[in-house]
Amino acid sequence: MLGELCLEVINKPKKMSTTLVPKKAGSRSASAIASIFAIATLLLSPQFAFGQHEVDSDEGGRGPVKINGNENAFGYSQMAMMSIMQELPDINRYAWEESVALVEAISARELVPSEFVLPTAGSGPVLVMAAIAYAQPGKNVVTVAPGYTQLVRKFKEFGGDVKSVPLNEKLEYDLPAVKAAIDENTVMVYLCNPNNPTGTTVDPEALKAFIRELPPGVTAFVDEAYLELADGGLEANSMIGLVREGRDVILARTFSKVFGMAGLRVGYGIMKPDTKAKLAKYHMGGPNKLGCVAAVASLQDTMFFEESVTNYRTVRKMVTDKLDELGVEYAYPQGSFVFMKTGVPIKEFQTLMEAEQVMVGRPFPPMLDWCRVSIGTEEEMGVFLSVFEEVMKAKGKL
């Protein structure tokens, strides 16, 4: 079986390739060797190739449970791994063709012209470029607290002001309050949807209406890093339709979450070409060659995508069902994490959990007795829930 698959790779490299550009003729034999190695890895050592982030065990012990960084514990696409293996012989070349292929694949996914796509090393650079491009003394960005702060911190660093609006009682966006905070010096509104750390989403129709009513000169930046995992996914919740309408909107997406490629650093922004030109002045480079081919393969691997979403939602519900049983308050989760009230100062709670080798999320002011917990595998979350219950009981919170 292995021999037959290897011959298929050698004889039909374009069929097996997940890139949108043909492989160079000179590298065919080397790519075939890499493909053989890849298939051998998959068939002979599947645990090595696609081992999930299981809780390590050794004579009854276990290793650390890392649920503090919103990483995908379910792994990444096998097609993406194959594409990486096939590309290794050409890693001495720059990613010119692969970058073009990635932009074309994203353009097809988002149904926007390629001129609207700005590929980056993760979605973080899109946030940073926007902050640098728009920040100046006397101008402000309006956001929420608690919320994701990478853009607003950089905005402030470059001389701008930050106006933070509290969330509502459900820890969701209070759009009327956000609107009221906008003034003549506002140049941008930044919203992460689902919000990080609360995981809550905003009603898509309400958000569309809010953006359409923004004053001229105010750009809406919607960070959709986790939106594939929300109820209804991108189709029901994304603001991509407003970009297609030509609205003054910037969207940020990443391959680090549902696609499980945090270590490869691939993301992108979607915006009008004139906005893209404004940000591109501060472009810090796109994804590397391996990231490009892996991202294209991931977009093609619809089976993996569906499995990843299902895994997240299944384990997320397992966690919230247990929190309901324990009577623990939490925000309705729509991302890759759950934000829960422990009633214990977060620094102390981190220390107590770390003593049991469970790593949980950082502080998110002003909610400093709440904790963000990333979704791990079912086994990892079983360990977390057991330790969580013990710690909460020891602190008199259950």
The CATH number given to 96-300 is 3.40.640.10
Strand partners of residue 165:
144
Give the pTM.
Answer: 0.86
pLDDT in tens, 340-379: 999 999 999 999 999 999 999 999 999 999 999 999 999 9
Residue 220 in this model has a pLDDT that exceeds 90: yes
Check whether 16 has a pLDDT greater than 50.
no
> Is the per-residue pLDDT at 335 higher than 50?
yes
Amino acid 33: pLDDT: 54
Tell me yes or no: is domain 303-394 CATH 2.130.10.10: no
Task: Tell which wins on pLDDT, 264 or 35.
Answer: 264
**249 bridge partner residues:** 220
The predicted structure's pLDDT at residue 49:
41
Q: What is the mean pLDDT of residues 210-232?
A: 98
* 59-89 per-position pLDDT tens digit: 456 789 999 999 999 999 999 999 999 999 9
Look over the chain and give the mean of its residue pLDDT values, rounded to a whole number: 89
Break the chain into its structural domains and give their ranges: 96-300, 303-394
- Does position 2 have pLDDT exceeding 80, yes or no? no
Question: In whole angstroms, what is the distance from residue 94 CA to residue 99 CA?
Answer: 9
- Composition of the chain by helix, strand, coil, percent to 5: 50, 15, 35
Radius of gyration for the chain, computed over Cα atoms and rounded to the nearest angstrom = 22
b/e code 228-267 from CB counts within 10 Å (16+ = b): bbbeeebeebbbbebbeeebbbbbbbbbbbbbbbbebbbb
Average pLDDT over residues 158-173: 97
